[in-house]
Structure 1
Amino acid sequence: METLLLDGETVENNAPMESLVDAVEAAFAAYDRGDATMPPKSYVDLPQYDGDFRSMPAYLRADDWDAAGVKWVNSHPHNEERHGLPTVMGTMIYSDPETAVPLAIMDGTALTTRRTGAAAAVATDHLAVADATSMGLVGAGVQSVAQLDAVATVRPIDTVVVADADADRARAFVDAVSDRFDARVGSIAEAADCDVLSTVTPVRDPIVESVGDHTHVNAVGADAPGKHELADDLLAVAKLVVDDHAQCTHSGEINVPYGSGRLTDADIHAELGAVVTGTKAGRTPEDGVTVFDSTGLAIQDVAAAHVVYERASAAGAGTAFDLLGLGRDSA
């Protein structure tokens, strides 16, 4: 049995956002039902290179498919200035759960970008007001594009406000999406007043102090201890949903106020999987601000890889090769 090699462009071409949102939602449901196995993310710290590796394995069983895989991803903040390389690079190994055959080795960077957007869309669908038409973005990088593309599959977004410390980057973002949305550059306060807000920055001092009375926030930027985009007072009054309790309290948006005792478990409404399955309520008429703390889970990677592999296989995309030498054995 051959293995497919899928580069970043092929991954993107076979990762339609609507399909990813459905698959990622199924993954969260499986996790809540106990139909997923996801060991804690493990780290290999490399202080001599100012970086680290992270291993993210998972298995999940959805209604009519199951999947397994592991993502090997790094974070080397000085890569660009020192080596001309991306800060983050990932590789996904997608395997057949029944036989353990590696079905595909694919670019994990494009996969991560797309599945992170899809997770925010799942949260938005369950937590944002039903008639949300405006979206704010704090941060104008690649992930912000994925956030907008994904949220627009679950809400009729027509107005977009983007804020970024780099004015040129913000303008480039607006230019890139203006053929699909009424987009403009604005302040953080203007972005935060939209129906849906996604924050995608690496800051350690909160930059969003308040949002609209019924805004849903996807807090995406915090992925390590000490990172923190939203003011503690804002988090304290919001209906707070996390992707995973352990990850979020350790390295998500809530890690700083949780560590100081400003927030406790009593302030966390639910994990997203419980909201997806209906075990816990999503948005209710009484709700004001809602916040989704998104750290990124291995089940999301596996679900997204399932979509990409199935579509690429059907389209004859990628490069097939005999990784295990099984063809030689049978020759």
Structure 2
Amino acid sequence: MTSVALALYDEALLFEAAAACEVFGVDRGLADPWYDFRACGPRQARLGGWLRVDTPHGLDALADADTVIVPACGDVDAAPPADLVDAVRAAHDRGARLVSLCTGAFVLAAAGVLDGRRATTHWEHTAALAARYPRVQVDPDVLYIDEGSVLTSAGKAAGMDLCLHIVTADHGAAVANELARRLVVPARRAGGQAQFVALPAAADSGHALAALLHWASGRLDQPLTVSDLARRANMSTRNLTRRFTAATGVTPLRWLHTQRVHRAQELLETTGDSIEHIAARTGMGTAATLRRHFHRALGVPPETYRNTFRNHHTPPPPSTPPAPAT
């Protein structure tokens, strides 16, 4: 899916539109080919309630795109533009992948493409989405949902998470992580994490957790436990679990597991290491354990994942052989 169309319209919000432009509209040489990106919408569309933009393509151009992205709308109480709804429905009928960022889900729901599907939006508006479109299975407690041909995200930063998730699906974890580094944003978060409705803990504890996450990320090959993390953070295990879950939306063990799977993805893409070696480097222990957790998380065994992304990228250099025993 190489062509991406961003559907712009009056009252679309700037942040989500800009996030899609930065991810899909700028070729940083990370993969060849990158996306064929186009902005589509009525002439002089007014974004964010004040910025007028000239788009080179009308909404009818959505019909030719592999992926259509609908950014957030500023007024969820108002019916979305009829021409936008029609264009989104037509793109879906033709087989395009549809993506909504934040309250863009209301546009997809109006087009009927969310009927019978799980979907999410900003936590402030999930109740309204569920009430207005009862056939949509609204989940208010996740960052984003991937239903295959239809993907939805929660508010603001979760939209960037979903964009990076799409890059991962199309080009692999290593490319997505490098893109996150280029954009100076956190590496992608798993969609099942909770939306951060409550404010995080005080700033000093936030810094302490950031240091802890950095420390743990560098030791994924070690058998880390919650007690190890608590000891490093100088907290009780109960206090750490409570603060960790409040700050990240997942338990410490779940976070460790997710990071290990992400590290395995990168190693499968960028090294020639054996599955056994990758299992050791990611703290999975054995190849059988890695295969089980990897398949559960991504739906394919690690060998299939490696072969898929080896076909899309330049083959990685061979791994450095281990030093001979002395």
**Scaled by the length of structure 1, what TM-score is found?**
0.33
Task: Name whichever structure is richer in helix by fraction.
Answer: 2
Structure with greater strand share of residues: 1
Report the structure number with the largest CA radius of gyration: 2
